[in-house]
A and B are shown apart, each in its own frame.
Chain A
Amino acid sequence: MRIDEVTRSAIPEASPAPAADADNLRIDRVSYHYGGDRARAVPAVDDVDVVIPHGSLGVLVGPSGCGKSTLLRLAAGLIEPTLGRISFGRSTPGELRRQRRVGFAFQDPGLLSWRTVRRNVELPFDLAKLPSAPGWIDELLGIVGLTEWRDRRPAELSGGMRQRVALARALATRPDLLLLDEPFGALDEITRGELNLELLRILSATGTTCLLVTHSVDEAVLLGDRIVVLSARPCSVKLVHDVPEGRTGREGFRDTVAFLEHCRTVRAALAA
């Protein structure tokens, strides 16, 4: 399932169909309360039940502060659900994390100012005590279009470039599950659109399953194979909406009637 030839140009047509025993991300009736089980605990996630098929991109969309990021942390195994369970194939998030099969791009790129772009992308190898893979890092820098900037420091980069570095860093360990917490939230519309299409290209090339958090309906429809609309805090599922259009030709997808229809459905669910 790890595809090493990421630079190949052939991109799979149509969104991957969920196979019965594939590595689907299953969020199985998960609740999470801050402060544990006690009476004063604050509920953040309430009975969320979603499946993201293997190799597809799930988008969590909802009002800000609703607990989307908490859900992402649960999927990464950084916190344990109070109720319910999460699995990726046969593994729990904790096992997945220990096998270095999760990548996470946090809301704030959090690049280390004293490391060059290349060394920042390599950071997971240092942190996880893995042997470095220089060839792969170079390839990754090419994929995110930062080859020329590899020896610069983060302070010399624009906001969009920093997000690319953060994305490359999350992809460095060739994760099977990629979690993105509003990765392009702080960027302008144009840069954002470019990066969105780039992300789709990368995901298609690597076959990575991805769960992305956003509060932009446009971004959700443009990127998502499956959109999960969440309610305000504590977040629960309001609607699970599939976007059956394939990943090719998404450049023009925005201008189609189908796109607007999807947006309308999602927006209606959000407002309901």
Chain B
Amino acid sequence: MSASSAFPVLAPGGTASDAGGPARAASRLASARVTVPLLALCLVPGIWALVASSNAFGTAVVSPLATVKEIHSQWSVLWLNAQPTLYATLIGVAVLLGITALGALVVAMVPRITPALAALSVVVGTLPLIVLTPILSLFIARGRPLVATVCVLAGLVPVAAMLSGMARVGERGRDELGALYGTSRLRWWRFVGFWQTVPVLDIGIRAMIPYCFVGSIVAEWSGASSSFGLGEVMTNALFSYEPPLLWATITLAAVGSLALLAVASVAMYPFRRMVR
């Protein structure tokens, strides 16, 4: 959100001279900018630990320490189950990236289908995923194909929204410069349109990844996988009443989702840098 201020603009004519005076205030502010978030970031695990130790909610709330211990002791089981989830998610993300690439080109060539795409994202977004799994299992074999399919469906909403945004942003200026030089749609997209859509692409992909990951887990939860998966562990932990295992799985899932986000962020970095 404060990305624009993170890149100082080099103004010709120089404003470097007025950096000397408030430098100390700036450094104090910078240290506040580090310490306050750090304190606050520690605050919530603290509250979590307090709530857990107060036993107000019985054994349902597991303390952070116990959660970490559970992750450690159950690591082999968790990792065994995390692998198929991650794998299915990666397949889903790859399929969605393909859809994005193809869709971006199609939308750039035929902008008229954009409203339909926006509508599709609305309609798909209203379908409850958890119900989709039993219905889809009629047509698709349970296991990795089904999990990946639900994952793709979950990610389709932000992708369709992203494509309709890309169509709009990519067209910017085509009625002036593009018309003046009689530029074809493909040429415009190659030299201008694509680059204009990079910020939308960046946001869209980062929006898509948690959707995908959660989609895979929901799929496994509602019985799409045949044997292993984080969602499977969650159901088992719930039905055999093992709150520590449930908390451990949730924490692991959140970490996995954040890790995927970080990977996406790093992968988009060169593009972001290019168009900033």
- Does residue B25 face the partner (Cβ distance < 8 Å to A)? no
Alpha-carbon distance between A135 and B182 when the two chains are bound, in angstroms: 24
Alpha-carbon distance between A155 and B175 when the two chains are bound, in angstroms: 23
Query: Which residues of chain B are near A123, meaning CB under 8 Å?
Result: 177, 191-192
Alpha-carbon distance between A127 and B9 when the two chains are bound, in angstroms: 28
Chain A interface: which of B10-18, B31-39, B63-71?
Answer: B10-18
- Does residue B53 face the partner (Cβ distance < 8 Å to A)? no
Is there an interface contact between A98 and B182, defined as CB atoms closer than 8 Å?
Answer: yes
Instruction: Identify which of residues 167-222 in chain B touch chain A, using a CB-to-CB cut-off of 8 Å.
Output: 173, 175-183, 187-188, 191-192, 195, 198
- Does residue A112 face the partner (Cβ distance < 8 Å to B)? yes
Whether A155 contacts B9 in the complex (CB less than 8 A), given A98-B182, A106-B176, A128-B182, comes out as yes
Q: Mark A126-147, 1 if CB is under 8 A from B, else 0.
A: 1111000000000000000000
Q: How large is the interface on B (under 10, 10 to 19, 20 to 34, 35 or more residues)?
A: 20 to 34
Alpha-carbon distance between A129 and B188 when the two chains are bound, in angstroms: 10
Is there an interface contact between A114 and B195, defined as CB atoms closer than 8 Å?
Answer: yes
Query: Which residues of chain B are near A112, meaning CB under 8 Å?
Result: 192, 195
Is there an interface contact between B274 and A114, defined as CB atoms closer than 8 Å?
Answer: yes
Which B-chain residue is minimally distant from A169 (CB atoms)? B177
Task: Choose from B12, B179, B180, B275 the contact partner of A161 (Cβ within 8 Å).
Answer: B12
Which A-chain residue is minimally distant from B176 (CB atoms)? A106
Which B-chain residue is minimally distant from A129 (CB atoms)? B187
CB distance from B16 to the nearest CB of A (A): 14
- Does residue B24 face the partner (Cβ distance < 8 Å to A)? no
Is there an interface contact between A127 and B12, defined as CB atoms closer than 8 Å?
Answer: no
Is there an interface contact between A127 and B173, defined as CB atoms closer than 8 Å?
Answer: no
Query: Which residues of chain A are near B182, meaning CB under 8 Å?
Result: 97-98, 128
Task: Choose from B9, B177, B191 the contact partner of A156 (Cβ within 8 Å).
Answer: B9
Is there an interface contact between B275 and A128, defined as CB atoms closer than 8 Å?
Answer: no
Total A residues in contact with B, Cβ cutoff 8 Å: 24
CB distance from B198 to the nearest CB of A (A): 8
- Does residue A41 face the partner (Cβ distance < 8 Å to B)? no
Task: Choose from B10, B179, B191 the contact partner of A126 (Cβ within 8 Å).
Answer: B191
Alpha-carbon distance between A76 and B11 when the two chains are bound, in angstroms: 34
Alpha-carbon distance between A190 and B9 when the two chains are bound, in angstroms: 23
Which B-chain residue is minimally distant from A119 (CB atoms)? B191
Query: Which residues of chain A are near B173, meaning CB under 8 Å?
Result: 110
- Does residue A124 face the partner (Cβ distance < 8 Å to B)? yes
Query: Which residues of chain A are near B198, meaning CB under 8 Å?
Result: 114
Is there an interface contact between A127 and B181, defined as CB atoms closer than 8 Å?
Answer: yes
CB distance from A118 to the nearest CB of B (A): 15
Is there an interface contact between B183 and A128, defined as CB atoms closer than 8 Å?
Answer: yes
Q: Mark B236-276, 1 if CB is under 8 A from A, else 0.
A: 00000000000000000000000000000000000000111
- Does residue A14 face the partner (Cβ distance < 8 Å to B)? no
Query: Which residues of chain B are near A76, meaning CB under 8 Å?
Result: 180
Is there an interface contact between A124 and B9, defined as CB atoms closer than 8 Å?
Answer: no
Which B-chain residue is minimally distant from A107 (CB atoms)? B176
- Does residue A100 face the partner (Cβ distance < 8 Å to B)? yes
Instruction: Identify which of residues 72-124 in chain A touch chain B, using a CB-to-CB cut-off of 8 Å.
Output: 76, 78, 97-98, 100, 102, 104, 106, 110, 112-114, 123-124
- Does residue A157 face the partner (Cβ distance < 8 Å to B)? yes
Whether A158 contacts B276 in the complex (CB less than 8 A), given A97-B180, A114-B195, comes out as no
Q: A100-B181, A106-B176, A106-B177 are in contact. List 12 more A-B contacts (CB 8 A).
A: A76-B180, A78-B176, A113-B275, A114-B275, A123-B177, A124-B181, A129-B183, A129-B187, A155-B9, A156-B10, A156-B12, A158-B11
A-B contact pairs, 25 of them (CB 8 A): A78-B180, A98-B182, A102-B180, A104-B180, A106-B177, A110-B173, A110-B177, A112-B192, A112-B195, A114-B198, A114-B274, A114-B276, A123-B177, A123-B192, A126-B187, A126-B191, A127-B183, A127-B191, A128-B183, A129-B183, A129-B187, A155-B10, A156-B10, A158-B11, A158-B12
The 4 A-B pairs of least Cβ separation, nearest first, read A128-B181, A127-B181, A114-B275, A127-B183
